[in-house]
Amino acid sequence: MDVLQKCGGRKVVLAPMAGITDGSYCGKYRNLFGIVTLGGLNLDSATLSASKEIVKRGRKEFLYNLNEFEDIIKREVKRARESNALVSVNIRFKDFEEAKRRIEILKKHCDIIELNCHCRQEEIVKLGIGQELLKRENFETLRDFLKGIWELEIEKPIFLKVRANVVPVDEFIDNLNKVRRYFHGIHLDCFNPGRDYPDIEYIQEVRRSFKDKIIVGNNSINSIKNAEKMLKYSDLISVARCVLRGNVRWIYEFNRKLDNKGNNL
């Protein structure tokens, strides 16, 4: 797939971290990642208000004037491109009509648009978005969002950032199968409730059902061993917390290992 070719042989993605992965943060990791992700970014007033409430609880979020969105995106994408990686933008919104013009701005500047179906913060969940979009009762909302983005003819890959075990894997697959024409990739956090290791069986099932999609595996990847295990069932892997902790040396070593093996594990 074109995205994989443009990653230049690098299989590690910098995952979005709210209030952290801005352009400067992404850009400082030059030649390390195949994709760097800005966001999550709010595209409407409802999600921006939710972020302000989240910040009051002491969590980090990106807060900005929505009227300045285009200038912000130009600046942040430019900074992120210092990484020499593809630039993805993770987005969330409640009102597609309000978000639409900002999605059209994104298509001019970034390489991938990633719809946030992952956030579990109460203020976002109460809006019926984030990980709530994965539930059967919210399927029509997810479908309408994806169909709306598709109809904008943005000509950029659409990824979904999703969380495992919000719903059983059969329900997850059934829901996404109904909208599979509208997206190109699944960025799957293999969240395994009550355990400190990823739910590999979940991603195995997703891989079997979506062989035509780019699969990005995520969760507790902090070593070459973890990375290679996840890549048995995904095209790429993503990291977040290990980067925050400064644990990135293994990624450089992993990239060299891939180069030496001709990008095949």
**Do residues 110 and 91 touch, judged by C-beta distance below 8 A?**
no
The count of structural domains within the chain is 1
**Nearest by Cα to 241 from 10, 68, 18:** 18
The CB density around residue 76, as the number of other CB atoms within 10 Å, is: 26
We report the CATH number of the domain holding residue 12 as 3.20.20.70
How far apart are the C-alpha atoms of 135 and 209, rounded to whole Å? 18
How far apart are the C-alpha atoms of 205 and 216, rounded to whole Å? 14
Q: Is residue 265 part of a domain?
A: no
Task: Give the per-residue pLDDT at 264.
Answer: 65
Task: Give the per-residue pLDDT at 263.
Answer: 64
Q: What is the pLDDT along the chain (265 residues), one digit of tens a residue?
A: 599 999 999 999 999 999 999 999 999 999 999 999 999 999 999 999 999 999 999 999 999 999 999 999 999 999 999 999 999 999 999 999 999 999 999 999 999 999 999 999 999 999 999 999 999 999 999 999 999 999 999 999 999 999 999 999 999 999 999 999 999 999 999 999 999 999 999 999 999 999 999 999 999 999 999 999 999 999 999 999 999 999 999 999 999 999 987 666 6
Beta partners for 36? Answer: 14, 87
**Nearest by Cα to 203 from 211, 39, 115, 10:** 211
Q: Is residue 188 part of a domain?
A: yes
How far apart are the C-alpha atoms of 169 and 202, rounded to whole Å? 6
Q: Is the pTM of this model over 0.85?
A: yes
Strand ranges inside the chain, DSSP E:
12-14, 35-42, 86-92, 112-117, 158-163, 185-189, 214-218, 236-239
Task: Give the per-residue pLDDT at 261.
Answer: 78
Q: Is the four-CA dihedral 188, 189, 195, 196 of positive or negative sign? A: positive
Q: Is residue 204 part of a domain?
A: yes
Q: Is residue 84 part of a domain?
A: yes
How would DSSP label each residue in 159-216? EEEEETTSS-HHHHHHHHHTTGGG-SEEEEE---TT-SS--HHHHHHHHHH-TTSEEE
How far apart are the C-alpha atoms of 200 and 237, rounded to whole Å? 13
Task: Give the per-residue pLDDT at 265.
Answer: 63
Task: Give the per-residue pLDDT at 78.
Answer: 99
- For 197, the domain range is 2-260
